[in-house]
Copies of this chain bind each other. A is one copy, B any other.
Amino acid sequence: MISKLIKNISEKNAPIVVGLDPMLDYIPENLQKQAFEEYGETLKGAAEAVLLFNKKIMDATADLIPAVKPQIAMYEQFGVEGLRAFKETVDYAHEKGIVVIGDVKRGDIGSTSKAYAVGHLGKVTVGSNTYAAFDEDIATVNPYLGTDGIKPFIDVCNECDKGIFVLVKTSNPSSGEFQDKEVDSKPLYEIVADKVNEWGALSMDGDYSNVGCVIGATYPEMGARLRKLMPKTYILVPGYGAQGGKAADLVHYFNDDGLGAIVNSSRGIIAAWKQEKYAKFGGDNFADASRQAVVDMIADINGALGK
């Protein structure tokens, strides 16, 4: 799967991913109204608003972007109907040829991780049939439970040509509380990185592994060092834009081949119409604002990379 993601990135010359993390207040009033008129101010109405919003953003940006990263929490908050919108978002992205990184941060003991792996990336058996329940291409995974929580995901990566990004160093302010603790004279996130290398060797796909990792844009020095420690690991980089990460800082997340990292922006793209910079588009043209924000983000990052 990582080779498919790389192909998309190379063809579009865009090492970026759009985070589809819609909060209701990112969605222009007219679009909310349209959904609420059909389903009322209900969980189904909210889910419909989210789905309409996502589809319009994908319609406006599909030719520019290699991947989307729906954050499942934003759907899960609307319950079963929200998760239906998540699934329909995945399917719609696939229709458009966009790789889907499910930001689900799952992770559990072995038998339970297997159920997550099957549900998000693989196929579940019901009687004599099999079904891909959510069918993302790549899922983010939490490593706190160790190898037996990760292995079932790797098995599914190999069986179904899928990928995972393992949390190594997250973008949030308190990520250091545990992740930075020094263990055997190095920070815990480097211990996790060593394991990511080990796990990665079990699912190579060309020059890179289907086992990637997550390193926040907000910790560029750590990112630069981790890049060297994990040469064959693709890095998903959240935290650009709204969270404070800058393009110049991100250069060192890439390898000399110009590959190795994919930078996420969520709010900065999907709620672009609410920023002063893109206010001229107005709420009714929110998707055009998102398109312009994508164009600007690609130029910003490729500019820093000298591409």
Chain A residues close to B by CB (< 8 Å)? 21, 24, 32, 36, 41-43, 45-46, 71, 73-74, 76-80, 82-84, 87, 105-110, 112-113, 115-116, 118-120, 124-129, 131, 133-134, 142-149, 167, 170-179, 181-184, 188, 191-192, 195
Contact = CB atoms under 8 A, between A and B. Distances in A.
A20 to B, nearest CB: 13
A224 to B, nearest CB: 21
Contacts of A191: 178, 181
21 contacts: A24-B126, A32-B127, A43-B126, A45-B126, A74-B112, A76-B120, A77-B115, A82-B119, A82-B133, A107-B142, A109-B172, A110-B172, A142-B142, A143-B178, A144-B144, A145-B174, A146-B174, A148-B173, A148-B174, A178-B192, A182-B183
Contacts of A188: 178, 181, 183, 188
Contact of A42 (B41, B126, B178, B195): B126
A71 B112 contact: yes
A213 to B, nearest CB: 13
Contacts of A71: 108, 112, 115
Contact of A43 (B80, B133, B142, B174): B133
Given A77-B115, A78-B131, A82-B119, 5 more contacts: A78-B126, A105-B142, A146-B172, A146-B174, A181-B181
Contacts of A176: 146
B83 A115 contact: no
B145 A175 contact: yes
Given A77-B124, A79-B131, A144-B178, A21 B112 contact: yes
Given A145-B175, A178-B144, A183-B188, A76 B116 contact: yes
B107 A177 contact: no
A76 B146 contact: no
A76 B174 contact: no
Number of copies of this chain that the complex holds: 2
A87 to B, nearest CB: 6
Contacts of A126: 24, 41-43, 45-46, 78
Nearest to A167: B144
Q: Which 4 A-B pairs have the closest CB atoms?
A: A79-B133, A41-B127, A146-B174, A146-B177
A78 B110 contact: no
